Amino acid sequence: MRVQTQGVVIRVSNVGERDRLVTVLTRDRGVVRAFARNSRAAKSSLVSATQLFCYARILLFCGKDKYIIDDAQPLEVFFELRQDIGRLSLAQYFCELAGELAPQEDSEKAADFLRLLLCAFRRLCRGGRPLPVVKAATEMRMLSLAGYMPDLIGCAQCRKYEDSIMYFYPLQGELLCPSCRQKNGRQDGIALHKGALTALRHTVYADLPKLFSFTLGEQGQQELARASEEYLLDRIEYHFRTLDFYHTVVQPPA
């Protein structure tokens, strides 16, 4: 059976002298791993379409236990991602994250993950937003799509919407106001001032076209970055090597 779909290449491995094994986040079949025969040959029509980050129209042959790419035509190649080490490292991290969180089979949710990844790549290519902001927004939205949406509506106990500072608890995925935090005798939690809290809520609840449409000062960026990354690592028991690489380029959240 042959299926035509669209997808982004999120991982590439060389096989032999001429072939590639590519992992693709597809619109309607989720994450698939497929052989691309002769895709490293100079004159192959698959050369550009099977490179990392490429968004392509793909014709898949679906065998009993494997996929083969019969044909692929690039739609977007995102050259700009390779012109800056920070953007490159973040795009690689997003690919690894999608590989862990996106569905591994046919699913309506696969299209949502694909749209998010494309929006993140386009935002990185355009620039104009600090990398920690793009990273946090993509992390939180991808986690939400995967079923890990935190409760950010208000304090988990008294439901107070906001205060000058609210405290985020990544392990529980919830907020406490200063009063409830004190009543519970707690000294932990990530302090979020109003700007960072508004931004964190935006990453979860905003419409996708507006996902990156917010600004934060340096302190707010640090608070947002710490909250999103700790929430991610508390939810996923996986070591992201691309995240380590990103932090060699961009200072990790304090």
What average pLDDT does the segment 82-110 reach?
A: 92
Beta strands at 2-15 and 55-62: parallel, antiparallel or unpaired: antiparallel
* Domain assignment of residue 48, yes or no: yes
What average pLDDT does the segment 175-201 reach?
A: 96
Q: Is the pLDDT of residue 254 over 70?
A: no
Q: Is the pLDDT of residue 1 over 70?
A: yes
Confidence of residue 106 (pLDDT cuts 50, 70, 90): low
Residue 44 lies in domain: 2-135+239-249
Tell me: the pLDDT tens digits for 83-93?
Answer: 999 999 999 99
Q: Which residues pair with 73 in a beta bridge?
A: 57
Total number of domains constituting the chain: 1
Tell me: the pLDDT tens digits for 2-53?
Answer: 889 999 999 999 888 888 999 999 998 899 999 888 788 777 788 888 999 9
pTM assigned to the model:
0.94
Confidence of residue 74 (pLDDT cuts 50, 70, 90): very high
Cβ-proximal residues to 34 (8 Å cutoff; 6+ apart), any chain:
21, 22, 24, 60, 66, 67, 68, 69
CATH of residue 27's domain is: 2.40.50.140
Distance of CA 29 to the CA centre of its chain: 18
The Cα–Cα gap between 65 and 35 comes to 12
Per-residue b or e along 49-65, where b marks 16 or more CB atoms closer than 10 Å to that residue's CB? bbbbbbbbebebeeeee
- E strand or H helix that includes residue 95: helix 85-101
Mean pLDDT of the chain: 93
* Domain assignment of residue 152, yes or no: no
Q: Is the pLDDT of residue 121 over 90?
A: yes
* Domain assignment of residue 88, yes or no: yes
* Domain assignment of residue 87, yes or no: yes
Instruction: Give the pLDDT score at 63.
Output: 74
* Domain assignment of residue 64, yes or no: yes
Beta strands at 30-36 and 55-62: parallel, antiparallel or unpaired: unpaired
Q: Is the pLDDT of residue 250 over 90?
A: no
> Both ends of the chain: CA-CA distance in Å?
51
* Domain assignment of residue 195, yes or no: no
What average pLDDT does the segment 208-226 reach?
A: 95
* Domain assignment of residue 206, yes or no: no
* Domain assignment of residue 10, yes or no: yes
